[in-house]
Structure 1
Amino acid sequence: MKRRLFSYLTLLLIIIFNSCGAEYNLKKAEKSLALGEYFNAAEHYRQAYRKVPTKDKKKRGDISLKMAQCYEKINATGKANSAYEKAFRYTSPGLDSELSYARQLLKAGAYKKAEGIFKDILDSVPGNKLAKNGLISAQKANEWKKAGSRYTVKKMSVFNSRRDDYSPMLLGDNYEYLYFSSTRNETQGDELNGITGTKSGDIFVSEKDDKGKWSQPEPVGGGLNSIEDEGACCFSPDSRTMYLTRCQTDANYPRYAQIVTSERSDAAWGKTNELNISKDSLSSYAHPAISPDGNWLYFTSDMPGGKGGLDIWRVRITAAGLGGVENLGEPINTAGNEEFPTFRPNGDLYFSSDGHPGLGGLDIYIAQGDSTAHYRLFHPGYPLNSQGDDFGMTFEGQHNRGFFCSNRGDARGYDHIYSFENPEIVQTIKGWVYEMEGYELPAAQVYIIGSDGTNKKVSVKGDGSFEMVAKTNVDYLFMATCKGYLNHKEEIHIGATEDSQEHVLQFPLASITAPVLIDNIFYEFDKANLTSESTKALDELVNLLNENPNVTIELSAHCDYKGSEDYNKQLSQRRAESVVNYLIAKGIAKDRLTPVGYGKDKPKTIKKKLTEKYKWLKENDVLTEEYIKKLSKEEQEICNQLNRRTEFIVLRTTYNLFDKDGQLKNPPKAKQKKFEENNKNGINISFEQ
């Protein structure tokens, strides 16, 4: 009798202990969930579930449901589906939970099972868009996988760790740097993130050498990384500003992701500054992307006014700051989640969504168009997309190749970086803007006009280059401009081709403030007569003056120190006049040209660029007779050749601009503002697989 009583008391104590333990874990779980610490919350729910008696079905079902929702947030798809199954076994969670479960089944590739649940949901709620698109996905995913595409993908072991590696972004004139986010052990701090169960992410970088080999990734130096969670970065068109996502840790408040910026000084990235996108401080702002023209910041947010879940928004970038937040609306945003916007340099917007028909989880989609035109959506198919989450595209210039990330095939739900390539015939135009006798001009801008209606302005990169995808059978005109320099124009016709091709254009800009050498001008020996070899250089000068019709120049000829001063001056004057006469014969107005022969009075001053060719010369050296006679005979002859030159310098930039009363002859006309009707209900969606 005593033994039986003891057993009952022991069992009662165990029940009481488990009940108290379950409540303790539930409180911890609810607190973690309120803070957005889904990993911690899932663990507390799991412990609470184990302590609840089997007969308490409702409580077990409620805990299982919350556990499933937490696992879903941290991409633990297998655990989420297992928890959903338990929840449905013990209770009836409702249509929203059924929908979430079916969407997780898509992510696991359990298409048949998902199909049945989507049909049941649509029987009850026929208009549910997520269920409709989910049903399409479940019924067609295997067909889409079988159809495949021209894409090839490869897992990049050099970038990947045993944790999350995601959101790659290429940078550099030759795309030799790959920045990405990682939660690997080398990140700062020692604590595990309550949201993910891993360390908080940092930005890492890998560099490609001349042989195409990528280095082992290292954390970005400077003040960029911190003990907080940094991820999903992008760069301004001039590569001087990094935009990235930061999620701060706070033990008492929910986690709201914010977009911050870092400025680059030389090769180092500085500490971050928060970017105030709106006055709404209770919404998350993440996954920044800068439009190719640099005028818009695109981002992901759950702020009010969206279509549901996470949406893609944009805000205009102006000299005065950010202003005018816009939701991209349909067809891009859905009742699901749209995240990770990024741009291909040709203007196509790439983003990931779990709300459109796809293979499961986040799929990558391509949106062509802009805010004043109808978007067309394209699904690039398998294997770029998979049943897992696929996102974070970055492109190697104009080519349809680069890197992205995916958690396909990873049972833990960790993201990894993959390469991709879609072979296609692409004609590109690459231009270089630089100073005559000098270096690249990173402050230059290029105006582009095409016979197909193209009309845009682009900024060059740090090396003075720009690149664009060209269309076939189109005539293009390019005008390079930079403050302090004359304009330069190039024209090109792009014909049809059977292979990808790159067309290279050069834009040497003449300084307005310094003498400009006219290279390859030749005269008959000891005479002023121009030789036929001079025609090309002279015709280029004609073009330059025609492109800059408000400019007048002094055309000067120079000699070396040999011969008498009077003779040299007379010869150089006649030579300058020969060039001017040629220009006049080609249609250049006489009063725009002033010929001057300086003889040996103005020896050449060495520019830095010339010291790369002649290592024994130094910048700002003046090639006087005294200086030259100290050199070797070979070096003396080179210096004399440099002194024997023809140059021009700009005198005025206002020629023929004003009438006799001092008024502009052709004042600019006020631009007529164009208004376009925004018909939100009239968007044409062309969704192709």
Structure 2
Amino acid sequence: MMTVCLIVLLTGCGVDRNIKKGEKFLSLGEYYDAANQFKTAYQRTPPKDRKQRGEMANKMAQAYERISSSQRAAAAYRNVIRYKQDNGDTHRQLAACLMKEGDYAEAVKEYQIALDSMPDNQTLVAELEAAKTASAAKERGSKYIVSRIDVFNSRRQDYSPMLYGDQFNQLYFTSTRNEAQGDAISGITGVKAGDIFVSEKDDKGKWGTPQDIVSGLNTKDDEGTPAFSVDGREMYITQCKTDPNYPRYAQIAVSNRADASWGAAKKLEISRDSLSNFAHPALSPDGNWLYFTSDMPGGKGGLDIWRVRLSGGTTGGVENLGEPINTPGDEEFPTFRPNGDLYFSSNGHGGLGGLDIFIAKVGDDHHYHLEHPGYPLNSQGDDFGMTFEGLHNRGFFSSNRGDARGWDHIYSFELPEVIQTVKGWVYEMDGYELPAAQVFMVGDDGTNKKLSVKGDGSFEQEVKPGVTYILLATCDGYLNHKEEIHVTPVEDSKEHTLQFPLAGIHVPVLIDNIFYDFDKATLRPESEKALDGLVKLLNENPNVTIELSAHTDYIGSADYNKRLSQRRADAVVAYLTAHGIARDRLTPVGYGKEKPKKIRKKLTEKYPWLKENDVLTEDFIKKLDKEKQEIANQLNRRTEFTVLRTTYGMFDDKGNLKQQPKPKPKKPIDDDEIIIE
């Protein structure tokens, strides 16, 4: 008898220790460890102690839910009911788990039981209706094409993919695979802490084996959910620091790219609130706003999507997106399609089970309108973390569908559609791309946009049939360039390409493809295209005056070359004035061989035997072999222009501005409103 009592006492003490450990792990957010402790306490509790068994099953179920182990959570909730420790919330949570398992008929039964005990709960009414219609919605399907991509996936968690690079040839994502840094097993998930991995696509379009980033970005702590700034120089991530004595709060941190590698991430201060989570960063297409997930006070309940304005590396003005996006449930993983549509995941809007992806589009009333993209983009599991291949409705996302352990994997998606895009490149004439440029786009349908330029000087924007667009590229230190395009209907997707070469204000600009008759100043017909381009540039920049200069090689006398080059410069000016350019905006100068060409870096790519800042003097050229001498002489035989003034026609005879600045309107106008004259 004493032995039996001793066993009972020891068992009771062990259960208490398990419960205390479980409660501590739960308070720290270490749900995997908490579930194990509550499971052990449940198993050690005698079946006749129905109350404690039911309570332990309930704790266990909640912990399993937090790590997306819906099968185990459902079994635990059934034990809560078995031991009669259930209430309306028990049946509601069980129904949610059954939805994630795709058992919609049983979910309807459990939701109905919950609703019977909470008849005035309108959210519960909506959840019951979603359960009733889920099977039909899944059967109805959609045109989305979804495939699991094995090269990205491991036997652990792989999620939140994000495409990167001007050609979208890199995929960053979060993974808890064995190659992640650190040796500790996470008390949250039961696997290693997450790291950010990257896979690269080769020239044949094949994705390579994902590699851990070892440049300082990843640590022994959790890093994940990457998002990139518009220029690609900053990576925003979610970071969870480990502290054995404090709850694990998620924070958003920023890593800067230098020398082709990502540095250690530094916390981004979003709010003074130190007791809330900040996670899942996403940048708006214009780069002005950071969207994120948080449980901070002031939301609609659960996790909400918020945004904060970005300015010069700092943040200010936190805003909750409110309805219809946020609900009393959880809204997470915001991301943007480049056309401005906001994608996010929610378990508060109904759907097929777990987190479903929703699309928030801004309507003509300037309010968000929600769409559910249906199956198979959404499933009974958690579906989240979208990334898009440019303007096309294709890319990657993550889902734990069909995984009994609730682990996430990466899938591709595509929605076949006919879209037209305009893709342009902004670069310096005779030089490199200009990522600091901006492009203004105005359409006769009311379109008025300011487009950001990527690191390779390119931009891409969707355009609509039947609309005429004007696009103006600008950059400090350069003249403007304008293009016009009229979009006609097509049967297949089409990309329109435009070039925006900008002339530098502070350097001579080569007018390429200007040809004269041999030893004469007569312009050849094939020169007209380049000269018409110069007419267009001067018309687009009406306040500019230029020096138009012609140059020769060193062969022949200095006096003859100078007279020949002057006649050639005069011939170009005559062409320009004949095509409407005011004569007093043009200064023709023939330099002969007085100003040999100075080599700029871009030209060394075509001629590696030249170095930047080489000057093609007669002495320099004569040291080259015959073939290179001819190339150097050809480079010296050139026609250029140099900007002299940028204020032509702006002042009257008394030195006053002809067009005075208009007074600022009392009513503020949209920062993005653009007017192209």
User: Fold match, TM over 0.5?
Assistant: yes
What corresponds to 1:110 in structure 2? 103
Larger deviation, residues 509-518 vs 609-618:
609-618
Q: Describe the superposition over 1:74-104 as per-residue Cα deviations: whole angstroms up to 9, x where unpaired.
A: 1110100000000011124322232222111
> C-alpha displacement at 1:673, in angstroms?
5.8
Q: 2:509 aligns with which of 516, 524, 528?
A: 516
What corresponds to 1:681 in structure 2? none
Whole-angstrom CA distance in 1 between matches of 2:249 and 2:472 = 45
Whole-angstrom CA distance in 2 between matches of 1:72 and 1:395 = 29
Larger deviation, residues 367-376 vs 427-436:
367-376
Q: Describe the superposition over 1:468-513 as per-residue Cα deviations: whole angstroms up to 9, x where unpaired.
A: 1111111111111111111111111111100011111001111111
Letter in 1 for 2:149: M
Letter in 2 for 1:104: C
- 1:202 correspondence with 2:195: yes
Whole-angstrom CA distance in 1 between matches of 2:375 and 2:667 = 42
Distance 1:501 1:673, change over 3 A: farther
What corresponds to 1:590 in structure 2? 583
Query: Match of 1:458, SS?
Result: strand
Larger deviation, residues 608-617 vs 335-344:
608-617
Partners of 1:451 and 1:476 within 8 A in 2: yes
Letter in 2 for 1:501: K
Query: Match of 1:242, SS?
Result: strand
Partners of 2:91 and 2:113 within 8 A in 1: no
- 1:560 correspondence with 2:553: yes
What corresponds to 1:645 in structure 2? 638
Whole-angstrom CA distance in 1 between matches of 2:120 and 2:367 = 24
What corresponds to 1:432 in structure 2? 425
> C-alpha displacement at 1:671, in angstroms?
4.5
What corresponds to 1:46 in structure 2? 39
Whole-angstrom CA distance in 2 between matches of 1:262 and 1:319 = 15
Partners of 2:553 and 2:593 within 8 A in 1: yes
Write out aligned runs for 1:235-274 (5 A). 235-274=228-267
Letter in 1 for 2:476: K
Whole-angstrom CA distance in 1 between matches of 2:556 and 2:425 = 41
Give TM-score, length-normalised by structure 1: 0.95
> C-alpha displacement at 1:536, in angstroms?
1.1
Q: Describe the superposition over 1:514-556 as per-residue Cα deviations: whole angstroms up to 9, x where unpaired.
A: 1111111122232222222111111110110111111110001
What corresponds to 2:628 in structure 1? 635
Partners of 1:221 and 1:268 within 8 A in 2: no
Letter in 1 for 2:143: R
Whole-angstrom CA distance in 2 between matches of 1:602 and 1:575 = 16
What corresponds to 1:151 in structure 2? 144
What corresponds to 2:613 in structure 1? 620
Distance 1:167 1:320, change over 3 A: closer
Whole-angstrom CA distance in 2 between matches of 1:396 and 1:136 = 35
> C-alpha displacement at 1:674, in angstroms?
4.9
Query: Match of 1:142, SS?
Result: helix
Whole-angstrom CA distance in 2 between matches of 1:320 and 1:242 = 13
What corresponds to 1:469 in structure 2? 462
What corresponds to 1:685 in structure 2? none
What corresponds to 1:13 in structure 2? 6
Q: 2:290 aligns with which of 281, 293, 297?
A: 297
Partners of 2:51 and 2:85 within 8 A in 1: no
Query: Match of 1:32, SS?
Result: helix
Give TM-score, length-normalised by structure 2: 0.96
Write out aligned runs for 1:357-506 (5 A). 357-369=350-362, 373-506=366-499
Partners of 1:129 and 1:335 within 8 A in 2: no
Whole-angstrom CA distance in 2 between matches of 1:16 and 1:411 = 37
Distance 1:305 1:371, change over 3 A: farther
Larger deviation, residues 485-494 vs 657-666:
657-666
Query: Match of 1:22, SS?
Result: helix
Whole-angstrom CA distance in 2 between matches of 1:635 and 1:246 = 57
Q: 1:24 aligns with which of 17, 21, 32?
A: 17
Deviating 4+ runs (over 4 angstroms):
673-676
Q: Describe the superposition over 1:258-278 as per-residue Cα deviations: whole angstroms up to 9, x where unpaired.
A: 001111102111111111101
What corresponds to 2:48 in structure 1? 55
Partners of 1:130 and 1:336 within 8 A in 2: no
Query: Match of 2:635, SS?
Result: helix
> C-alpha displacement at 1:17, in angstroms?
2.0
Partners of 2:553 and 2:637 within 8 A in 1: yes
The alignment covers a number of residue pairs equal to: 670
What corresponds to 1:311 in structure 2? 304
Query: Match of 2:549, SS?
Result: strand
Query: Match of 2:305, SS?
Result: strand
What corresponds to 2:649 in structure 1? 656
Partners of 2:338 and 2:391 within 8 A in 1: yes
> C-alpha displacement at 1:9, in angstroms?
3.0
> C-alpha displacement at 1:626, in angstroms?
2.2
Query: Match of 1:14, SS?
Result: helix
Query: Match of 1:508, SS?
Result: strand
Distance 1:148 1:191, change over 3 A: same
Letter in 2 for 1:54: P
Write out aligned runs for 1:170-189 (5 A). 170-189=163-182
Q: Describe the superposition over 1:1-32 as per-residue Cα deviations: whole angstroms up to 9, x where unpaired.
A: xxxxxxx3333222222222111111111111
Distance 1:218 1:327, change over 3 A: same
What corresponds to 1:323 in structure 2? 316
What residue ranges of structure 2 are gaps of 5+ in the alignment? 670-677
Query: Match of 2:471, SS?
Result: strand
What corresponds to 2:568 in structure 1? 575
Query: Match of 2:99, SS?
Result: helix
> C-alpha displacement at 1:581, in angstroms?
1.5
Letter in 2 for 1:479: L
- 1:346 correspondence with 2:349: no
Whole-angstrom CA distance in 2 between matches of 1:397 and 1:262 = 23
Whole-angstrom CA distance in 2 between matches of 1:148 and 1:112 = 19
- 1:610 correspondence with 2:603: yes
Letter in 2 for 1:393: M
Q: 1:544 aligns with which of 534, 537, 549?
A: 537
Whole-angstrom CA distance in 2 between matches of 1:18 and 1:114 = 37
Q: 1:533 aligns with which of 517, 526, 530?
A: 526
Larger deviation, residues 506-515 vs 11-20:
11-20
RMSD: 1.7
Letter in 2 for 1:641: Q
Whole-angstrom CA distance in 2 between matches of 1:269 and 1:129 = 47
Partners of 2:363 and 2:369 within 8 A in 1: no
Whole-angstrom CA distance in 2 between matches of 1:132 and 1:172 = 45
Larger deviation, residues 470-479 vs 661-670:
661-670
What corresponds to 1:284 in structure 2? 277
Whole-angstrom CA distance in 2 between matches of 1:236 and 1:605 = 37
> C-alpha displacement at 1:621, in angstroms?
2.0
Whole-angstrom CA distance in 1 between matches of 2:359 and 2:150 = 27
Partners of 2:88 and 2:113 within 8 A in 1: no
Whole-angstrom CA distance in 2 between matches of 1:613 and 1:319 = 38
Whole-angstrom CA distance in 2 between matches of 1:652 and 1:323 = 40
Q: Describe the superposition over 1:304-328 as per-residue Cα deviations: whole angstroms up to 9, x where unpaired.
A: 1111110000001112721111111
Whole-angstrom CA distance in 1 between matches of 2:83 and 2:42 = 12
> C-alpha displacement at 1:636, in angstroms?
2.4
Query: Match of 1:584, SS?
Result: helix
Distance 1:179 1:653, change over 3 A: same
Query: Match of 1:158, SS?
Result: helix
Query: Match of 2:132, SS?
Result: helix
Letter in 2 for 1:232: T
Query: Match of 2:63, SS?
Result: helix
Q: Describe the superposition over 1:103-151 as per-residue Cα deviations: whole angstroms up to 9, x where unpaired.
A: 1111111111111222233344344243122212211111111111111
Write out aligned runs for 1:59-208 (5 A). 59-208=52-201
Distance 1:115 1:492, change over 3 A: same
Partners of 1:480 and 1:507 within 8 A in 2: yes
Whole-angstrom CA distance in 2 between matches of 1:202 and 1:370 = 38
